[in-house]
Structure 1
Amino acid sequence: MAEKEFKLPDVGEGVAEGELVNWLVAPGDTVTEDQPVAEVETDKALVEVPSPYNGTVKQLHAEEGQMVPVGDVIVTYDVPEEGDDASGEPAGEEPAATDPEASADTDADAASDGPTADEPATTDSDAGATDEAPEPSSGRVFAPPSARRLARELGVDIAAVEGSGPGGRVTEGDVRAHVETGESEDAGAAGGDSSGPKQVDIGGKKSAVSRKGGDDADGATAEVAAGSAPSSVEAAGRDRTLAVPATRKAAEDAGVDLDDVPTDETRDGEAFVTTEQVEGYAQAVKEAKAAEAEEAAAGGDGADAPARSAAAGNGASASREPESVPYRGVRRTIGQQMENSKYTAPHVTHHDTAVVDELVDVRADLKERAAERDVKLSYMPFVMKALVAGLKEFPYLNSELREDDEEILLKKEYNLGIAVATDAGLMVPVVKDVDEKSIVELAAEVNDLASRARERKVSREEMQGGTFTITNFGAIGGEYATPIINYPETAIMGLGAIDERPVAEDGEVRAAHTLPLSLSIDHRVIDGAEAGQFTNFVMERLENPSLLLLE
């Protein structure tokens, strides 16, 4: 066997470092070339880093959440040398199989001697439930990080899951369907064996935590899953435990002895503990201590424990404890970008309201025609067209200030970023060349980019090159805001909710559809008067959408 070091590659042009968000392998895992070994986040894109070798993971050199410079060693491998078989043993005088297909099968068997990151370790109870464990596929599995993470949490071999996505891509739904099918099959083979620590579902993740000396192990499982504190928690008390660096850090932060965390997973014959199991065990210990303290304060007879437990669940002191949430990944990237923008560009926000009754009517007329082309037509494409018309008339709002060169770059491309709220934070995919596309084409592209952004499938390149940004906070309610410029751009337009509001016209008040607008500008480049003129120009086209035909 030869030892090989793998350095973090350049995962994006001009990127100097990335955050190691998630390890997809652990020490002792057998990996194949091009198999993803880690998820790394740079800027606002999450990418999978593939292995350059076939071999065994010997050591991980970074922890989850750590910023790693490009070129730093992140993994050390044991790689078979020429003349070794897949297991690293010298090859015999005679080949094990002369048939190419048989040889390939033999290699796959040898590579599967140890559990991989996506393959759950085999335990004694598992062996009793099935005669033969499924062998993982030696080919590369196409699956997004979210599906791989779910597979690991549920103990599923991702290679055994049949993908329903494009090109056989495995989705989260495929993983769940595989688990449901497997559970129904295992239920008949398991025979109701309740020996060993129970797997307790805590917050959607599993942890091997059970009540001590309980005759009713299932009752303890239900109690912990429901959030009630068990009277005590059984510690494993091992002499040796394997875990990745991030898990060891989680145990240290939680004040938990890693050897005490129950687990039924193994790596190379040693107990292997995951971060989820550490968190579940720490939570169960915390609840057990709280319950014991509560019982002692009440006299220790335990007769009214259910009532006290209910009282604790209804807003007692435990719920008042602060919770620490990691500030990293997309959230930290957003924070750094917002800080850079706010403390670099002096912001001024101009507010106004457009009366858009005609726009509402035009959109209603065209909505069915767009649906015939399988396109959902919103108001956004009309706003984009009106903004591009305004940017052509007022080019300083489509610019970039280059202080080092002492110049303002007036851009001739009209690439509009569309801010999209996702579970991971705010993402801004960019629609390129808006001035060259029709309303229907823009609607289709916006819908596609927004959908893929929410699924974390939008590429880094698709979030670059913007010249002006739109943020639609009206989609979740609200009228006005002070949006922060997507630096180094010089302006951003915020859209409120289109709704009926009172409007005074010719001395009378009527209900009209209005669109609140909030334009933030970089006051170093754009004056307040120019911001007002630009907004009026855009409003004129939103209030009279037929003018967009002239653009």
Structure 2
Amino acid sequence: MTTATEVKVPDIGDFRDVEVIEILTALDVEIAPGDPIITLESDKATLEVPSPHAGVVEEIAVAIGDKVSEGDLILRMAPKEHPGAPDPEADSSPAGSPSARRMARELDIDLRDVRGAGRKGRILREDVERSAKAAEFDAKGTDSPPSPRRSPSPSVDFSEFGAVDVKPLSRIQRLSGDHLSRAWAEIPHVTQHDLADITDLEAFRQSLREEAEARGARVTLLGFLMKASAAALQAFPTFNASLAPDGENLIIKHYHHIGVAIDTPEGLVVPVIRDVDKKGIFELAEEIAAITDKARGKRIAPAELQGGCFTISSLGAMGGVGFTPILNAPEVAILGVARSSIQPVYGEDEFQPRRMLPLSLSYDHRVIDGVRGAQFMNFICSRLADIRRLLL
């Protein structure tokens, strides 16, 4: 008699009572290590839970709609050699991203009828959207469906032209790629560019170096950008908001949490610094250093990536004079920062050398118009030019 192996909810960070939205296996189905078995959904994230073992499912202890936490039992399985016929219907279910499967359920679409454009035929949210539109046009008797929002890339055998290597995208790149593609396709972006005079700010920052080192911190420009952005969010609440799912209401937030794009070996991640408006420059410097270290060391918790109101993406010293940052939906604005440089600025009847910082503000044009965008950018530039104005 074989002993059943229990599979429990693994470490999912600080999440508690997370809803089970999908069962991805069935009784008597043989699964391999890494195969997804359930999908969990919190208020901000969807997570597939993989099986840590191989075996045949003997018992499923959860149902759709159940709330689970770390350590709760998901299922029991017997070793692979346990006799049991796999469920043909379960085995034939196509692989799809959690967002794709959720949309398919909402639209009553059978994923077996959807052609996946993702890696290894994985079905993406965009594939379900195309299938839904095609079905809608067929129902109306239209000769042909509309052009898809994003067509699959044509299949090209690049090895015909020379030697090639195939390098899989990291999980972060795959997930962020899907998120960014959806944001770019569905949200009308507008980007405004401006220059902030940070000559005096840079001199002040340098004067803090000795005090910062004594505290074990490193004061960078990012902390000042976060403080100026938090003040701007307070002055312009529309930027500190998200569009409701019904598209008819705006959810105004009364907290000021700012996400910071961090480059890691696996790709960009955006951890969130909370209550920026209530923290000083040294405290922000310490938090930025700590969260950057955790992100690059793959020790960041899911909760630390949630709850942002506004994002800053800084190219720092890498270069550039401006770019178009893509919105980190459901946020409605994001600030891009390029490399500062000394430029001649005319003032007091002569040209003077000033350190100018290029800023690029992208925003959701459904929520924010050009006038408000210019006012928001002017506010940030004026605070960076004279940091004392943040005290007003």
User: 1:330, CA displacement in angstroms?
Assistant: 1.1
User: 1:318, CA displacement in angstroms?
Assistant: 10
**Match for residue 451 of structure 1?**
293
Closer, same or farther in 2 for the Cα pair 1:448/1:60, shift >3 Å? farther
User: 1:384, CA displacement in angstroms?
Assistant: 0.8
| Residue 256 of structure 2 is aligned to residue 414 of structure 1 | yes
| Residue 185 of structure 2 is aligned to residue 337 of structure 1 | no
Which runs of structure 2 are paired with 1:154-193 in the superposition (5 Å)?
Answer: none
Opposite residue 352 of structure 2, the aligned amino acid is R
**Match for residue 476 of structure 1?**
318
- Is this contact kept in 1: 2:170–2:266, CA < 8 A? no
Closer, same or farther in 2 for the Cα pair 1:16/1:74, shift >3 Å? farther
Closer, same or farther in 2 for the Cα pair 1:58/1:402, shift >3 Å? closer
* Deviation by residue 1:412-433 (Cα, 9 ceiling, x = unmatched): 1100000101111110000001
| Residue 338 of structure 2 is aligned to residue 492 of structure 1 | no
Greater length-normalized contact order (CA 8 Å, ≥ 6 residues apart): 2
User: 1:17, CA displacement in angstroms?
Assistant: 7.2
**Match for residue 369 of structure 1?**
211
**Match for residue 388 of structure 1?**
230
Q: Distance in 1 between matches of 2:389 and 2:22?
A: 47
Which runs of structure 2 are paired with 1:66-465 in the superposition (5 Å)?
Answer: 76-77=78-79, 320-327=162-169, 329-404=171-246, 406-465=248-307
- Is this contact kept in 2: 1:415–1:465, CA < 8 A? yes
Report the 3-state secondary structure (helix = DSSP H, G, I; strand = E; otherwise coil) of the residue aligned with 1:404: coil
Opposite residue 474 of structure 1, the aligned amino acid is G
Opposite residue 324 of structure 1, the aligned amino acid is V
User: 1:49, CA displacement in angstroms?
Assistant: 7.2
Opposite residue 217 of structure 2, the aligned amino acid is V
| Residue 378 of structure 2 is aligned to residue 536 of structure 1 | yes
Q: Distance in 1 between matches of 2:362 and 2:206?
A: 30
- Is this contact kept in 2: 1:357–1:513, CA < 8 A? yes
User: 1:7, CA displacement in angstroms?
Assistant: 5.2
Q: Distance in 1 between matches of 2:230 and 2:74?
A: 44
Report the 3-state secondary structure (helix = DSSP H, G, I; strand = E; otherwise coil) of the residue aligned with 1:548: helix
Q: Distance in 1 between matches of 2:76 and 2:316?
A: 44
* Deviation by residue 1:113-143 (Cα, 9 ceiling, x = unmatched): xxxxxxxxxxxxxxxxxxxxxxxxxxxxxxx
* 1:547 corresponds to which of 369, 389, 392: 389
Report the 3-state secondary structure (helix = DSSP H, G, I; strand = E; otherwise coil) of the residue aligned with 1:2: coil
Q: Distance in 2 between matches of 1:374 and 1:523?
A: 42
- Is this contact kept in 2: 1:60–1:75, CA < 8 A? yes
Closer, same or farther in 2 for the Cα pair 1:534/1:325, shift >3 Å? same
Opposite residue 541 of structure 1, the aligned amino acid is R
Q: Distance in 1 between matches of 2:199 and 2:306?
A: 35
Q: Considering only aligned residues, what root-mean-square deviation do their CA atoms show, in Å? A: 3.6
Closer, same or farther in 2 for the Cα pair 1:509/1:48, shift >3 Å? farther
Q: Distance in 1 between matches of 2:279 and 2:78?
A: 50
User: 1:324, CA displacement in angstroms?
Assistant: 2.3
Closer, same or farther in 2 for the Cα pair 1:399/1:338, shift >3 Å? same
Q: Distance in 1 between matches of 2:223 and 2:362?
A: 20
Closer, same or farther in 2 for the Cα pair 1:49/1:332, shift >3 Å? closer
* 1:467 corresponds to which of 309, 313, 321: 309
* Deviation by residue 1:289-314 (Cα, 9 ceiling, x = unmatched): xxxxxxxxxxxxxxxxxxxxxxxxxx
| Structure 1 runs not aligned, ≥5 long | 20-25, 28-36, 52-56, 62-69, 79-249, 251-316
- Is this contact kept in 2: 1:356–1:543, CA < 8 A? yes
Closer, same or farther in 2 for the Cα pair 1:492/1:365, shift >3 Å? same
- Is this contact kept in 2: 1:378–1:443, CA < 8 A? yes
Opposite residue 368 of structure 2, the aligned amino acid is I
Opposite residue 4 of structure 2, the aligned amino acid is K
Closer, same or farther in 2 for the Cα pair 1:478/1:50, shift >3 Å? same
Closer, same or farther in 2 for the Cα pair 1:513/1:365, shift >3 Å? same
Opposite residue 324 of structure 2, the aligned amino acid is T
* 2:367 corresponds to which of 520, 525, 536: 525
User: 1:5, CA displacement in angstroms?
Assistant: 5.3
Identity %: 35
User: 1:16, CA displacement in angstroms?
Assistant: 4.8
User: 1:477, CA displacement in angstroms?
Assistant: 1.8
User: 1:465, CA displacement in angstroms?
Assistant: 0.5
Closer, same or farther in 2 for the Cα pair 1:365/1:529, shift >3 Å? same
**Match for residue 4 of structure 1?**
4
Opposite residue 357 of structure 1, the aligned amino acid is T
Opposite residue 2 of structure 1, the aligned amino acid is T
* Deviation by residue 1:170-228 (Cα, 9 ceiling, x = unmatched): xxxxxxxxxxxxxxxxxxxxxxxxxxxxxxxxxxxxxxxxxxxxxxxxxxxxxxxxxxx
User: 1:379, CA displacement in angstroms?
Assistant: 1.0
Closer, same or farther in 2 for the Cα pair 1:17/1:321, shift >3 Å? farther
- Structure 2 length normalisation: TM-score? 0.64
Q: Distance in 1 between matches of 2:211 and 2:390?
A: 18
* Deviation by residue 1:519-542 (Cα, 9 ceiling, x = unmatched): 000000000110100110111110
- Is this contact kept in 2: 1:44–1:333, CA < 8 A? no
Closer, same or farther in 2 for the Cα pair 1:329/1:14, shift >3 Å? farther
* Deviation by residue 1:468-494 (Cα, 9 ceiling, x = unmatched): 100002342212010001000000001
Closer, same or farther in 2 for the Cα pair 1:548/1:60, shift >3 Å? farther
Opposite residue 342 of structure 2, the aligned amino acid is E
Q: Distance in 2 between matches of 1:372 and 1:15?
A: 49
Closer, same or farther in 2 for the Cα pair 1:495/1:386, shift >3 Å? same
Opposite residue 534 of structure 1, the aligned amino acid is F
Closer, same or farther in 2 for the Cα pair 1:14/1:523, shift >3 Å? farther
User: 1:59, CA displacement in angstroms?
Assistant: 3.5
Opposite residue 452 of structure 1, the aligned amino acid is K
Report the 3-state secondary structure (helix = DSSP H, G, I; strand = E; otherwise coil) of the residue aligned with 1:500: strand
- Is this contact kept in 1: 2:4–2:76, CA < 8 A? no
Report the 3-state secondary structure (helix = DSSP H, G, I; strand = E; otherwise coil) of the residue aligned with 2:208: helix
